[in-house]
């Protein structure tokens, strides 16, 4: 028997018979490993478990605990769902069915939208298919064979037409279903032990509103029922915390169809929270050497052409024409970013190296044309305010400034109790500037993260069109991740706007521009906070910090005195004076998630105190009014 040698991840080698598969390699290492093997990697590329290995190949076994395992399982689940749909809806035409974060989906062209009953029937059929442990069999076809194989499937044929000449066309078959697919898949359908179909939705073919509307089914799949149950519990908790639901219940904001998608209207309580966030962060920025500016919401298109937005970002902007009244008609663009205004402010004065760095901040409202299908409450809006800043500095100052921004990120996230990591996004295909700039700028960001010990991943090709960036990903109370802060290095825009400074040698040099947000979109961060705290904001941020509840009408004079004194020192109060039972008033305050309820009766009037009930701890006793005010003041960060 001829044997070949393969390399294992630990650097050792393993002798296996010629023609051995990944599964054979796993078996040769350990029967236990073979039983857990889902797929393999050969020279870094994912392959099926029955893929034949070759002499000298580097082989890694992908098990149910590998990072890639869930993606493979979910992709296989999408194929099983498609087989179930084919069995139940024989005339269905098939789109695509990828794995996605936390699950999978598949798009179908059917006669009518799927109903909840349809989803239940499809899920039942999937369980039958899983129980049959059907093997996923890979095949390869030439272009003509593939075309014939998908007769009557126009979406598959369109995908075939889009494949480069000479590219291998692979298919996978399980049971009576065959699909175009690169793979890999789990060994057989028996691996699908814990899955659930979540919902149906409409989806345009290839995301193009001019193409047919298909019916998409979303599902989720996990390695064990325990993991699936935990996920479903998280989903239930996320629904309970949904900022759109809580925003209505707590009277924070609203959306109106007649106003337009993605345009939030803030009610008094929501506006109060946003202003509190801004006032707090403004103080933090002033203490760190920032200056604040205010720029217009619109600029002539000339500005957007200089900045590069007109060429590279136009599809995300709103433009309109203005008759200037003197025979001229000018095109204006509503700002999607605050950068150009800050560049023009810098350029309005002569600058010296002694002036740098200049840290210019603005709570600037911007407008971006998001497709209505992706607009999602405050998390993805068309109008939002950024806690924006641009730092103009010398090349030698870039490293220290990025470190300073990372310090600010750490402080702010610490205030709210968020854990976070980072992602470094590199040059996209649609971009401006030379390769050397992109290399130096990307290295500056990576070096700063390394120095601060912030964990990060590289996201190739997802930088801004003018420079690479760091995106900060925070984790909320139920384990979800959200992108908030961003830090970008930009050598391009200062050059496009002709910005300079005088060096110590009395020559002209171009400053480096650093773009950064900390909270990011104030709307998005507000939505994250609502869901993170389930609407129960910390005391310093609560729109109403205390409700004062009189036991009887004769206590109203003292209630008015207490309210006046508390409001004088900045405590935000409301009085519940309606003729309602005490338990109803307390329940109302609990429903509104007010941090404190202050009960006033005869004893409190006599002692000039308030009986304090905290929203989670319950009754904590009577305290003097001034002492309660001190309790509230101490809740503010930095107090």
Return the active site residues. Answer: 339, 368, 386, 388, 390, 469, 515
**Contacts within 8 Å (CB) and 24+ apart, 251-257:** 252/530, 252/543, 253/378, 255/377
Nearest Cα residue to 518 out of 425, 421, 442, 407? 407
* Location of structure tokens 């403004």: 282
Measured CA to CA, the distance from residue 552 to residue 578 in angstroms comes to: 10
With H, G, I as helix, E, B as strand and everything else as coil, classify residue 515.
strand
Q: Is 20 exposed, middle or buried (0-12, 13-18, 19+ CB in 10 A)?
A: buried
How far apart, in Å, are the Cα atoms of 348 and each of 155, 301, 392, 501?
56, 19, 14, 12
Q: Which two tokens stand for residue 634?
A: 């101490």
Asked if 391 and 516 count as a contact pair (C-beta separation under 8 A), the reply is yes
Q: Which long-range contacts (CB under 8 A, 24 or more apart) does 61-68 make?
A: 61/22, 61/25, 61/26, 61/29, 61/33, 61/37, 62/37, 62/38, 63/33, 63/36, 63/37, 63/38, 64/36, 64/38, 64/223, 65/36, 66/38, 68/39
Looking only at Cα atoms, what is the longest distance across the chain? Answer: 101
Identify the residue whose tokens are 């989903």: 235
- Tell me which residue of 145, 353, 363 sits closest to 275, measured CA to CA: 363
- 376: which strand partners? 380
CB 585 within 8 A of CB 576: yes
Contact 23, 50 (CB under 8 A): yes
């Amino acid at each position: 028997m001829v044997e070949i040698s393969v390399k294992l991840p630990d650097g050792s080698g393993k002798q296996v018979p010629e023609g051995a598969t990944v599964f054979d390699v796993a078996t040769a290492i350990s029967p236990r490993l073979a039983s857990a093997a889902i797929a393999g990697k050969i020279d870094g590329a994912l392959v099926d478990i029955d893929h034949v290995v070759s002499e000298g190949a580097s082989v890694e076994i992908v098990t149910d605990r590998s990072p890639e395992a869930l993606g493979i399982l979910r992709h296989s689940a999408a194929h099983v769902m498609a087989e179930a749909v084919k069995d139940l809806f024989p005339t269905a035409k098939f789109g695509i069915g990828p794995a996605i974060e936390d699950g999978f989906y598949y798009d179908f062209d059917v006669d009518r939208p799927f109903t909840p009953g349809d989803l239940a029937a499809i899920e039942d059929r999937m369980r039958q298919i899983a129980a049959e442990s059907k093997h996923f069999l890979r095949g390869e076809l030439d272009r003509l064979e593939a075309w014939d194989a998908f007769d009557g499937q126009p979406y598959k044929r369109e995908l075939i037409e889009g494949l480069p000449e000479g590219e291998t066309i692979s298919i996978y078959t399980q049971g009576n279903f065959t699909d175009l697919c690169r793979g890999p898949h789990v060994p057989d359908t028996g691996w699908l032990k814990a899955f659930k179909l979540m919902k149906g939705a409409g989806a345009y073919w290839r995301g193009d509103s001019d193409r047919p509307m298909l019916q998409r089914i979303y599902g989720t799949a996990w390695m064990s029922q325990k993991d699936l149950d935990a996920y479903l519990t998280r989903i239930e908790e996320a629904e309970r915390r949904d900022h759109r639901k809580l925003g209505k219940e707590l009277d924070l904001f609203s959306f109106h169809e007649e106003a337009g998608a993605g345009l939030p209207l803030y009610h008094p309580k929501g506006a109060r929270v946003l202003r509190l966030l801004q006032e707090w962060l403004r103080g933090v920025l002033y203490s760190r050497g920032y200056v604040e500016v205010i720029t217009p919401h619109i600029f002539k298109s000339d500005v957007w052409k200089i900045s590069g937005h007109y060429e590279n970002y136009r599809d995300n902007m709103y433009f309109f024409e203005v008759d200037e009244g003197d025979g001229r008609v000018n095109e204006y663009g509503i700002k999607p970013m605050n950068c150009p205004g800050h560049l023009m402010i810098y350029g309005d004065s002569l600058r010296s190296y002694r002036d740098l760095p200049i840290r210019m901040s603005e709570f600037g409202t911007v407008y971006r044309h998001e497709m209505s299908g992706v607009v999602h409450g405050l998390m993805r809006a068309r109008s939002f305010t950024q806690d924006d800043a641009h730092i103009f500095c010398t090349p030698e100052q870039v490293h220290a400034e990025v470190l300073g921004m990372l310090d600010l990120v750490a402080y702010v996230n610490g205030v709210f109790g968020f854990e976070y990591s980072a992602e470094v996004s590199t040059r996209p295909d649609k971009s401006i500037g030379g390769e050397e700039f992109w290399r130096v700028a990307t290295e500056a960001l990576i070096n700063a993260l390394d120095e601060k010990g912030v964990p990060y991943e590289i996201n190739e090709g997802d930088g801004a069109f003018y420079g690479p960036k760091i995106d900060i990903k925070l984790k909320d109370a139920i384990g979800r991740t959200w992108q908030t802060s961003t830090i970008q290095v930009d050598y391009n825009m200062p050059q496009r706007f002709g910005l300079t400074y005088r060096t110590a040698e009395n020559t002209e040099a171009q400053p480096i521009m650093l773009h950064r947000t900390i909270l990011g979109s104030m709307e998005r961060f507000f939505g994250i906070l609502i869901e993170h705290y389930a609407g129960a904001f910390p005391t310093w941020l609560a729109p109403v910090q205390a409700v004062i509840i009189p036991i009887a009408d004769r206590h109203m004079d003292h209630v008015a005195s207490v309210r006046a004194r508390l409001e004088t020192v900045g405590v935000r109060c409301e009085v519940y004076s309606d003729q309602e039972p005490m338990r109803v008033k307390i329940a109302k305050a609990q429903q509104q998630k007010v941090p404190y309820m202050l009960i006033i009766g005869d004893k409190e009037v006599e002692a000039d105190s308030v009986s304090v009930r905290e929203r989670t701890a319950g009754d904590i006793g009577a305290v003097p009014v001034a002492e309660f005010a001190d309790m509230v003041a101490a809740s503010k960060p930095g107090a």
